[in-house]
Amino acid sequence: MFDRLSSLIIALTLIAVAAIFAGMAGGDPLSIILLMLAGIAASLVVHSALPTPLPDARTDGLTQPADAPLPSLLRHPDFAHWADQEKEPLLGVADNVVTIVNDAAVRLLGRHIVGADVRTAIRHPAATDWLSRTDGSAEAQTINLMDFPRPGQRWTMRIAALSGSESIIFLVDRSLLDAADRMRSDFVANASHELRTPLAAILGYVETLQDMNGEADAPTRHRFLSIIDREARRMQQLVIDLLSISRVEADRFRRPTAHVDLAAIVRSTIAQLQDSENPRAKDIVVRLDDTPQPMLGDEAQLGQLAHNVISNAMKYGRSGTPVTVELLPAGNRVRLSVSDEGDGIAPDHLPRLTERFYRVDEARSRSVGGTGLGLAIVKHISERHQGQLAIESELGKGTRVSVTFPLATEV
């Protein structure tokens, strides 16, 4: 109700008034003086025991002179704690000197930057230029640091101004995003190139036939028409594979929920291949028993995975050699394994085989009707089904592609 000083003044006034009345009532002056001294002493004891009020944060600024320095956010004990939890690098700067950095900034720029001029801490021309601006335009804007800290990388830098001459600099790594963008545009360029090649052949042969104006003999016409047919089918297969890969990519984060039997899916894929006119179909050796292999999956996608791996073995294995398809249970998992006896793949190519349009031998892939997308599709389907893809190969001997899937407990 009263503040500490007012309470003391009121207590002393009451003692004085009581002493005056005691004197007027004819009290003993010595007793009155002793009682007054005791009262004053009691008031002082109570006053000193009262708690000192905390400064009011909201009114504190108002009571300070306008030019009094505000408390520093950078020196607040919670600041370092918060900054270290941030994954991206950040630097606290006062008067252009780096005063505090988080762990991520230390990893990026080194511990020596604490105490250094911020323009030497972030060594990049665009950063130096931006940080040297004194007109305030550098604040709250994002700038690109190309080739920072190494060639080919890109970071962005943003400055958040605090009070006085303090600021926080945020650095964000954009290199991965850029790589994803590049992959997307490379993919469009590659797909267009793949489509343009057969299209150019089709247009060329149609034009030649038109120019011949019906004068072409039957064998020539037949030859040209079969080239047109082959190239049109190549385009058709490419469009089918492009649609598949975009569908599979779109489903990437949706776990399959249907109960399916992998053994039945593989059997039906083999039956389809055996029904085709492919002369290699007779070389398929099936090592499957009647045991169902229950798993959570997308039937069409698993069928496509099996089809791509088996047809690769048929394409790249030597003609007349077996293409062996097995399902091997391993605890609570099952492994689909397809082996061929072909030229095999050199070890340096193995990690890149699942990249879109990557081929070991482009001419060979084209001659057997490959699109370069088969194993990329296999990889995506396998990942969606929590499968593990393994490609083992020995030059001159052959290749084994296997995918291991977790089994479901019930179908």
Q: Which of 244, 269, 312, 382 binds ligand ADP (CB under 6 A)?
A: 312
Stretch that binds ligand ADP, among 69-77, 190-198, 218-226, 351-359 (CB under 6 A): 351-359
Q: How many residues bind ligand ADP (CB under 6 A)?
A: 21
Contacts of 377 (CB under 8 A, 6+ apart): 241, 244, 245, 248, 304, 305, 308
231: nearest Cα among 263, 205, 199: 199
Among 130, 155, 316, 405, binds ligand ADP (CB under 6 A): 316
State the minimum distance, in angstroms, from the CB of residue 356 to ligand ADP.
8
Residue closer to ligand ADP, measured from CB, 173 or 283: 283
Contact, 156 vs 171, CB < 8 A? yes
| Binds ligand ADP by CB under 6 A, chosen from 345, 381, 389, 403 | 345
Q: Which stretch binds ligand ADP (CB under 6 A): 89-97, 243-251, 288-296, 360-368?
A: 360-368
Alpha carbons within 13 angstroms on the beta-carbon side of residue 347 total 0
**Considering the rule CB under 6 A, would residue 360 count as an interface residue with ligand ADP?**
yes
- The residues near 309 (Cβ < 8 Å, ≥ 6 apart) are 336, 338, 378, 401, 403
Distance CA 157, CA 144 (A): 7
CB 327 within 8 A of CB 288: yes
89 lies in the binding site for ligand ADP (CB under 6 A): no
Binding residues for ligand ADP restricted to 321-340, rule: CB under 6 A:
340
Q: What angle do CA 247, 250, 256 make, to 5 degrees?
A: 90
Strands 284-287 and 323-330, bridge-based pairing: parallel
Among 198, 297, 370, 387, binds ligand ADP (CB under 6 A): 370
Of the listed pieces 48-56, 61-69, 247-255, 307-315, which binds ligand ADP according to CB under 6 A?
307-315
CA atoms within 13 A on the CB side of 195: 12
Please choose, out of 136-144, 212-220, 298-306, 367-375, the segment that lies near ligand ADP by the rule CB under 6 A.
367-375
Instruction: Return the residue of 372, 385, 403, 405 that touches ligand ADP, per CB under 6 A.
Output: 372
Taking CA atoms, 133 is separated from 120, 139, 164, 340, in Å, by 15, 9, 16, 66
Cβ atoms of residues 285 and 313 within 8 Å:
no
Whichever of 43 and 339 has its CB closer to ligand ADP, that residue is 339
Rounded least distance, CB 316 to ligand ADP, Å: 3
Which regions of 224-344 does DSSP assign to beta strands (E)? 259-261, 284-287, 294-296, 323-330, 333-340
Residue range at the interface with ligand ADP (CB under 6 A); choices 48-56, 80-88, 137-145, 310-318: 310-318
Q: How far is the CB of 357 from ligand ADP (least distance, A)?
A: 8
* Site residues, ligand ADP (CB under 6 A): 308, 312-313, 316, 340, 342, 345, 353, 358-361, 365, 370-376, 399
